[in-house]
């Protein structure tokens, strides 16, 4: 039986004692102190009250954070089948290598000559990723998936700017099943977002799409397989349609784990794709980040007279090999580049992780990854569809790819037990819950993605738990409202946490409110 640790762990501010310190800092050398004298910072900028930080010894710090880890849950603890998140096992050999001081101590502005080994690794990774997605050039620069999306839509914007048609190309088309980051990224790039509906078969509604695409269309952002886990069967027709209007196709790579080795965005007609290194390529998600979101492009001539190619427009840096000097270099920003999206090169540590993963997998292993991700998904889908209260809408007879969206609408309609209740019931059995209430087009959605690293035994147990939840729901529909009971705390009161009268984003706000200093 699952019972999560419940430490009444104080906040770090409630620990320690005045005068303690948790790290042995060096003393300032006497000779240095004598030579420099007192600190001579002008009073207008000299800090007079030290920051009110708690004072802990090192042993208190390790206990505090160890207790906090025991009230957390990751892939190392059990299944985390969050849909569209691809929470796979994070191999520790890659951890050991990616955290090697010979990487972590390299400054991004160091002379390229001094980091040739790392640059060669990055150069190879660029090529491997390009081959995996069927593209020509990759930049490793973006720090996350959404950052890659921004990099991609800005590249689309630059494409139309260079072609002198930006005043006309103002719209980006996005399916209603898309990740929220897609419309948000398009909006950040200054585009108007036009939504296209999904048909009952799970494909984009082609009639609706044709009526929307036109001269003002700048591009399409789509993931394939979709967030329903369904392969977009009209993708070639869609690509042709957009290209006929000189609009570019952007591939949201969040769902690459569902097709790797079977087909490639570049072959499907996409012009730009991002890759979630922390999903498909196994770098850990760290409780929210870091990730890395390289983008790759299918090169094409943008302006014949000025000899500008799509590769000239992408942001960040590309690692190139200088045949003459026989050295690897970072190719900087050209005059047509979108520019920098972060201060320096790339999120190197997760990228090294991905390099090790691909190195050990080889193409054979990567294709197997997809095969088993898809296999376990359809296995789960089949079993769950037989449980009372659940259904799998859209493309009912179709096979899923990396994920499946189960709807608890029948259960919710019949007895009022919701996707949220079901999620909490899963937590109680020691499983993380799926992504719930997404995609928005599915009512009471449980978007489930086990990935190839989950054991069939755990999937069986997960299904058994869902069956149990269903039985409880139909017997006593009020009981699930009390879940969870086996986690560190009971169900969180979200309304109160978001009430402006209670809103507490930091400890100091809590103290100020207590003293009546806010409002």
Partner 1 sequence: MNTSHPWIPSSTPEQVEKMLKIIGVKSIEELFTDIPREVLLTREIWESLEIGFKRPLSEIEAKRVIEEKFSRNTKLKTPPFLGGGVYPHYVPSLVKYIVSRGEFLTAYTPYQAEISQGLMQALFEYQSLIAELLDMDVVNASMYDWGSAAAEAVLMALRVNKNRGKVILPANMNPFHKKVIETYTWPHNIKLEIVPYDKIRGTIDIERVKELVDSNTAAVYVQYPNFFGIIEPEVRAIGELTHEKGSLFITGVYPIALGLLKPPGELGADIAVGEGQPLGLGLNYGGPYLGVFATRYDMNLIRQMPGRIIGLAESVRSERCFAMILQTREQHIRRARATSNICTNEALVAIAAAIYLSMLGKNGVVKLAEINYYNAHYAWIKMKKNGLNVEVFKEDFFNEFPISFNEFKLKYSVIHEKLLEKGIHGGLYIGKYYPELGETALFAFTEVHLKSDIDMLIEALREVVFKR
Who contacts 299 (Cβ-Cβ below 8 Å, separation ≥6)?
Answer: 136, 137, 309, 310, 311
Candidate residues 371, 391, 468, 479; the one interacting with partner 1 per rule CB under 8 A: 371
Its sign, for the CA torsion 367, 369, 374, 376, is: positive
With respect to partner 1, which residue has the nearer C-beta, 201 or 474?
Answer: 201
Quick check: 404 binds partner 1 (CB under 8 A)? Answer: no
Quickly count: other Cβ atoms within 10 Å of residue 316's Cβ.
24
- The region of 205-213, 303-311, 361-369, 472-480 touching partner 1 under the rule CB under 8 A is 361-369
Size of the site for partner 1 (CB under 8 A): 212
Q: How far is the CB of 26 from partner 1 (least distance, A)?
A: 6
Positions in 31-50 near partner 1 (CB under 8 A)? 31-33, 35-36, 39-42, 44-48, 50
Nearest to partner 1 of 109, 301 (CB atom) = 109
CA distance 21 to 55: 6
- In the complex, the smallest distance separating the C-beta of residue 410 from partner 1, rounded to whole angstroms, is 22
| Identified binder of partner 1 from the candidate list 116, 165, 216, 477, rule CB under 8 A | 116
**Which residue, 211 or 504, has its beta carbon nearer to partner 1?**
504
Q: How far apart are CA 137 and CA 305, in angstroms?
A: 22
Maximum alpha-carbon separation in the chain: 81
By beta-carbon proximity to partner 1, the closer residue of 99 and 414 is 99
Q: Which of 79, 90, 171, 219: binder of partner 1 (CB under 8 A)?
A: 90
Listed ranges 96-104, 241-249, 294-302, 404-412: which one lies at the site for partner 1 (CB under 8 A): 96-104
What is the spatial distance between Cα 233 and Cα 218, in angstroms, rounded to a whole number?
A: 22
Q: How far is the CB of 496 from partner 1 (least distance, A)?
A: 6
By rule CB under 8 A, what string of x and - marks binding of each residue 274-303 to partner 1?
--x-x---x-xxxxxxxxxx----------
Q: What is the 3-state secondary structure (H, E, C) of 445-477?
A: EEEECCCCCCCHHHHHHHHHHHHHHHHHHHHCC
User: How many other C-beta atoms can be found within 10 angstroms of the C-beta atom of residue 390?
Assistant: 21
In this complex, which beta carbon is closest to partner 1, that of residue 201 or of residue 468? 201
- Applying the rule CB under 8 A, the residues between 139 and 168 that interact with partner 1 are 143-147, 149-150, 154, 157
- The least CB distance from residue 400 to partner 1, in Å, is 8
Instruction: At 222, list the tokens.
Output: 């789509």
Task: Rounding to the nearest 10 degrees, give the CA dihedral for residues 256, 154, 268, 334.
Answer: -100
In this complex, which beta carbon is closest to partner 1, that of residue 180 or of residue 414? 180
Q: From the CB of 191, what's the least distance to partner 1, in Å? A: 8
CA 204 to chain centre: 23
Residue 271, interface with partner 1 (CB under 8 A)?
no
Query: Hey, how many other C-beta atoms are within 10 angstroms of the C-beta on 124?
Result: 14
- Residue 69's contacts (CB-CB under 8 Å, 6 or more residues apart) are none
Q: Determine the interface stretch with partner 1 among 255-263, 306-314, 405-413, 468-476 (rule: CB under 8 A).
A: 255-263
With binding defined as CB under 8 A, does residue 402 bind partner 1?
no
Residues 321-340 that bind partner 1 (CB under 8 A): 333, 338-340
Minimum distance, C-beta of residue 388 to partner 1, in the bound complex (Å): 19
Of residues 88, 339, 398, the one with CA closest to residue 189: 339
Q: Which of residues 202-221 bind partner 1 (CB under 8 A)?
A: none
Window 168 to 207, contacts with partner 1 (CB under 8 A)? 179-181, 183-191, 193
84/97 Cα distance (integer angstroms):
27
DSSP H or E segment with residue 93? helix 92-98
Query: 441, 467 in Cβ contact below 8 A?
Result: no
What residues between 450 and 489 interact with partner 1 by CB under 8 A? 452-456, 484, 487-489
Shortest Cβ 392–partner 1 spacing (Å): 13
Q: For residue 407, what are the contacts with CB-CB under 8 A and spacing of at least 6?
A: 390, 391, 392, 393, 442, 443, 444, 445, 446
Instruction: Give the DSSP letter string of 397-456.
Output: TSPPSS-EEEE-HHHHHHH---HHHHHHHHHHTT----EES-STTSTTEEEE---TTS-H
Q: How far is the CB of 302 from partner 1 (least distance, A)?
A: 17
- Which residue has tokens 């169900």? 491
Q: Which is nearer to partner 1, 301 or 489 (CB)?
A: 489
Stretch that binds partner 1, among 306-314, 404-412, 446-454, 472-480 (CB under 8 A): 446-454
């Amino acid at each position: 039986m699952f019972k999560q640790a419940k430490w009444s762990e104080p906040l770090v501010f409630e620990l320690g004692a005045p005068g303690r310190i948790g790290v042995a800092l060096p003393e300032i050398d006497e000779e240095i102190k004598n030579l420099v004298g007192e600190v001579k910072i002008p009073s207008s900028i000299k800090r007079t009250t030290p920051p009110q930080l708690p004072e802990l010894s090192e042993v208190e710090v390790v206990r505090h954070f160890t207790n906090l880890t025991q009230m957390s849950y990751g892939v190392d603890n059990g299944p985390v089948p969050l849909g569209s998140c691809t929470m796979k096992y994070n191999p520790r050999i890659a951890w050991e290598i990616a955290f090697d001081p010979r990487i972590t101590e390299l400054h991004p502005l160091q002379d390229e000559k001094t980091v040739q080994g790392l640059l060669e690794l990055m150069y190879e990774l660029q090529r491997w990723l390009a081959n995996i997605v069927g593209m020509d050039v990759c930049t490793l620069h973006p720090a996350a998936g959404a950052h890659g999306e921004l990099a991609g839509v800005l590249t689309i914007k630059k494409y139309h700017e260079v072609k002198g048609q930006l005043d006309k190309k103002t719209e980006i088309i996005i399916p209603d099943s898309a990740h929220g980051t897609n419309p948000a990224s398009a909006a950040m790039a200054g585009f108007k977002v036009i939504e296209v509906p999904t048909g009952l078969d799970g494909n984009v509604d082609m009639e609706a799409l044709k009526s929307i695409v036109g001269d003002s269309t700048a591009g399409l952002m789509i993931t394939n397989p979709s967030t329903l886990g369904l392969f977009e069967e009209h993708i070639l027709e869609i690509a042709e349609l957009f290209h006929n209007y000189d609009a570019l196709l952007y591939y949201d790579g969040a769902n690459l784990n569902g097709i790797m080795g079977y087909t490639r965005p570049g072959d499907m007609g996409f012009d730009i794709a991002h890759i979630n290194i922390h999903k498909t390529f196994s770098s850990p998600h760290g409780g929210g980040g870091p990730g890395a979101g390289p983008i790759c492009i299918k090169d094409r001539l943008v302006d014949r007279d000025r000899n500008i190619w799509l590769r000239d427009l992408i942001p960040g840096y590309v690692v190139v090999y200088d045949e003459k000097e026989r050295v690897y270099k970072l190719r900087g920003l050209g005059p047509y580049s979108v520019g920098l999206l972060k201060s320096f090169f790339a999120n190197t540590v997760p990228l090294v992780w991905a390099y090790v993963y691909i190195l050990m997998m080889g193409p054979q292993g990567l294709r197997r990854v997809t095969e088993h991700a898809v296999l376990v998904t359809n296995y789960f889908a089949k079993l769950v569809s037989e449980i009372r209260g659940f259904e799998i809408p859209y493309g009912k007879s179709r096979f899923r790819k990396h994920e499946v969206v189960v709807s608890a609408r029948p259960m919710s309609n019949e007895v009022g037990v919701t996707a949220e209740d079901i999620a909490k019931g899963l937590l109680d059995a020691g499983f993380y819950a799926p992504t719930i209430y997404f995609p928005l087009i599915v009512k009471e959605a449980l978007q489930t993605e086990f990935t190839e690293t989950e054991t069939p035994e755990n999937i069986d147990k997960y299904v058994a738990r869902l069956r149990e939840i269903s039985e409880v729901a139909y017997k006593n529909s009020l009981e699930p409202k009390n879940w969870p009971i086996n986690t560190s705390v009971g169900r969180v009161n979200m309304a109160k946490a978001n009430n402006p009268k209670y809103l507490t984003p930091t400890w100091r706000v809590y103290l100020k409110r207590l003293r009546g200093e806010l409002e």
